[in-house]
Amino acid sequence: MGNDIILKAENVSKQYRLGLIGTGTISHDLNRWWSRLRGKEDPYLKVGDVNDRSTKGSSDYVWALQDINFEVKRGEVLGIIGKNGAGKSTLLKILSKVTGPTTGEIKTKGRIASLLEVGTGFHPEMTGRENIYLNGAILGMTKAEISSKIDEIIDFSGCQRYIDTPVKRYSSGMTVRLAFAVAAFLEPEILVIDEVLAVGDAEFQKKAIGKMQDISKGEGRTVLFVSHNMAAIETLCTRVIVLKDGCVFTEGNPTQAINEYLNSSVYSMRSVDFKDAEAGEKGNEFIELIEASVDNASLDNKEAVLDVTSAINVRFKFKNLTKSETISIGYDLKTIKGDIVFGSGNKFPCNINKETELICHIPANFLNDDIYQIHVYFHSNDMQALYSNSELLTFEVKDVKRESNYLGKVNGIIRPKLEWTINH
């Protein structure tokens, strides 16, 4: 590796066997062993479907990642984006040495600190303070090094009042704030962050973004950042890699890579049929999703382009598996950059173990031309979360008239058709 290259991925692939724990059956393991003995390639590396979760595969083996190659320079902030299931978290787990690649290798210089999931590596029975020391030790810090930083860590996390309370009593927001503070202040050469900004309030997100900028610019350390928040990716990153079905779809400067990603067919998912989906994909023990779609309500053809002048129907078809006949159902409509345009929802009567279809009507001349996402959520009567999906549907609203006349986009997230009066 060159002097300024701190991390290098060479032909990294990761294969999983569906439905089983471990590598598979004894016969598969024996075949692998016999091939290795004769100096032959692993026979199961030749089989396997690509990681497209929307299609039903024919093989028991699936490639979560395939032939990933990239280099990261010291001080660079590399953004990794892609749809759910594109392989982002698998790649971060390999980079953080949580799991090993099936083929290929990762070369790194220096310590890696990972923040993959809320409170990973925190012991619930130990206090916040004890967990700081535990995490620091895992990162290879001495007790003296951790002690010199502990006041800064506690102050940044905003958990002063609860620092000597067991972590199991922390909210998810507090846990992630403390985990971020530990990872950021214990000075790893490479900081790996997976969607940390999705948890925590706006004030903490601002602090976290500021700290990440300090780490990369001021201290010359490297950050790998996975997020669905395109605004944060564009603001923070110096380079972006887009993953699709476990492969690198494109890479380049943030604005260019994000635009290529958003404008590609990788992204649009206006309707989903869950009949052939994996169990976890279509819900849980409370809610079973059957179909979801965004349709053009202004025309007979539901699949026609969604123009700004079209009325839009958002449809959810699901089965209520709870013991209650009333469920609270709603969704947030978000722009692709993560801004919430509006939220809508209510309590609805839903027969137990029966299909229910709900349709929400969005009026014509309301949404601006942009790409939007539907974040759907189901709650019980007492507002306990039953199920949610933050990327259920993605769709684009176009302004066909202005596009054809080469006029620019109208400002604003929404653009309602408002009445004007004139007085002379």
Q: Does residue 286 sit in the same domain as residue 249?
A: no
pTM above 0.75, yes or no: no
Q: What pLDDT digit, counting tens, does each position of 182-240 carry?
A: 877 877 788 888 776 555 566 777 777 788 778 777 777 888 888 877 777 888 888 99
> What is the domain-level CATH number for residue 278?
2.70.50.60
Q: Does residue 157 sit in the same domain as residue 232?
A: yes
Distance CA 382, CA 363 (A): 31
Is residue 59 assigned to a domain? no
Is residue 330 assigned to a domain? yes
Q: Can you read off the two tokens belonging to residue 315?
A: 């449809």
b/e per residue 162-198 (b: at least 16 CB within 10 A): bbeeebeebeeebbbbbbbbbbbbbbbbbbbbbbbbe
Is residue 420 assigned to a domain? no
Q: Does residue 253 sit in the same domain as residue 114?
A: yes
Q: Which domain holds residue 307?
A: 271-404
Distance CA 108, CA 122 (A): 25
Q: Does residue 129 sit in the same domain as residue 220?
A: yes
Structural contact between residues 166 and 125, judged by C-beta atoms closer than 8 angstroms: yes
pLDDT value for 59: 59
- Give the total number of structural domains in the chain: 2
Q: Is residue 261 packed enough to be buried (19+ CB in 10 Å), middle (13-18) or exposed (0-12)?
A: buried
Q: Does residue 391 sit in the same domain as residue 301?
A: yes
Give me the sign of the Cα torsion angle 132, 121, 10, 246. Answer: negative
Distance CA 220, CA 75 (A): 4
- For residue 404, the tally of other CB atoms under 10 A from its CB is 8
Residue at a domain's end among 203, 235, 263: 263
Distance CA 386, CA 393 (A): 19
Q: Does residue 211 sit in the same domain as residue 302?
A: no
Q: Does residue 243 sit in the same domain as residue 316?
A: no
Structural contact between residues 120 and 32, judged by C-beta atoms closer than 8 angstroms: no
Is residue 364 assigned to a domain? yes
Q: Read off the amino acid at residue 338.
A: G
Q: Does residue 311 sit in the same domain as residue 233?
A: no
> What is the domain-level CATH number for residue 74?
3.40.50.300
Is residue 45 assigned to a domain? no
Is residue 85 assigned to a domain? yes
Which residue numbers in the chain have pLDDT < 50? 20-21, 48-58
Give the torsion through C-alpha atoms of 398, 399, 402, 406, to 10 deg.
Answer: -10
Residue at a domain's end among 225, 240, 263: 263
Q: Does residue 119 sit in the same domain as residue 223?
A: yes
pLDDT value for 164: 93
Residue at a domain's end among 235, 263, 291: 263
Residue 210's contacts (CB-CB under 8 Å, 6 or more residues apart) are none
pLDDT value for 342: 94
pLDDT value for 51: 47
Is residue 46 assigned to a domain? no
Is residue 422 assigned to a domain? no
Tell me the longest C-alpha to C-alpha distance in the chain: 94
pLDDT value for 93: 85
Q: Is 224 helix (H, G, I), strand (E, B) or coil?
A: strand
pLDDT value for 218: 73
Q: Does residue 303 sit in the same domain as residue 359?
A: yes
Reference 252, options 239, 233, 266, 263; nearest CA is 239
Q: Does residue 240 sit in the same domain as residue 352?
A: no
pLDDT value for 216: 76
Q: What pLDDT digit, counting tens, does each position of 254-272 carry?
A: 888 887 887 665 556 788 8
Q: Does residue 283 sit in the same domain as residue 168?
A: no
Q: Can you read off the two tokens belonging to residue 4?
A: 């300024």
Q: Can you read off the two tokens belonging to residue 120?
A: 């990973």
Residue with tokens 């002097």: 3
Q: Can you read off the two tokens belonging to residue 125?
A: 């029975």
